[in-house]
Amino acid sequence: MSTWFVFLRAINIGARRFPMAELRAVLAEAGYGGVETHIQTGNVRLTASHRSRTRLEAALEELLEKDRGFPVATIALTPRELTQVAADATAIVEAGPAAYGQYVSLLKATPSAADVERVEALSREGERILVRGRAVHFCYDVPYHAAKVSNAAIEKILGPATNRNVTVITALAEKWC
């Protein structure tokens, strides 16, 4: 069995409700082990027989859509990957803290060098965008709601992604890794 950290995109927003107790029950009933969740934004730790991230994500997306009636994009990371995302976030903050916080968009796929360049070129005054592996780090010196570059802009270039603040990412790495 492999341990995975799965991040669900766009749940508990509007009509897309998926209470964490129900999510844990659905996953456990489907045979996933050690299912834990963290806050209401779809952060899940589980064990699975899947060794392929792509197969795991596809199986989860099929299961969750069947249960909820709406598609739920999933992004799975290994413990090593989550630890690296948290370490990168910490290093970025230490190199130059952001006055209004740092956020991380987790990606389904590793971007090409050309796409990394395109995304990082979106940086502007008060908004520093850095790509590290399958994570895009947003460092804001402007309020989040005033930022021009967001997860939506990143998805247009890099495909499905889900956004968390750096506090959640580091808390999960400390708690689960």
Check if the beta carbon of residue 73 is closer than 8 Å to that of residue 108: yes
Within this chain, do residues 86 and 66 fall inside the same structural domain, yes or no? no
- Domain, as residue range, for 168: 79-176
Within this chain, do residues 165 and 98 fall inside the same structural domain, yes or no? yes
pLDDT tens per residue across all 177 residues of the chain: 999 999 999 888 888 889 999 999 999 999 999 999 999 889 999 999 999 999 999 999 999 999 999 999 999 999 999 999 999 999 998 888 788 889 999 999 999 999 999 999 999 999 999 999 999 999 999 998 899 999 999 999 999 999 999 999 999 999 998
Check if the beta carbon of residue 20 is closer than 8 Å to that of residue 14: no
Residues forming a β-bridge with 140: 127
Within this chain, do residues 73 and 133 fall inside the same structural domain, yes or no? no
Q: How far is 65 from 41, CA to CA, in rounded Å?
A: 17
In angstroms, how far apart are the furthest CA atoms of the chain? 48
| The pLDDT value given to residue 7 | 98
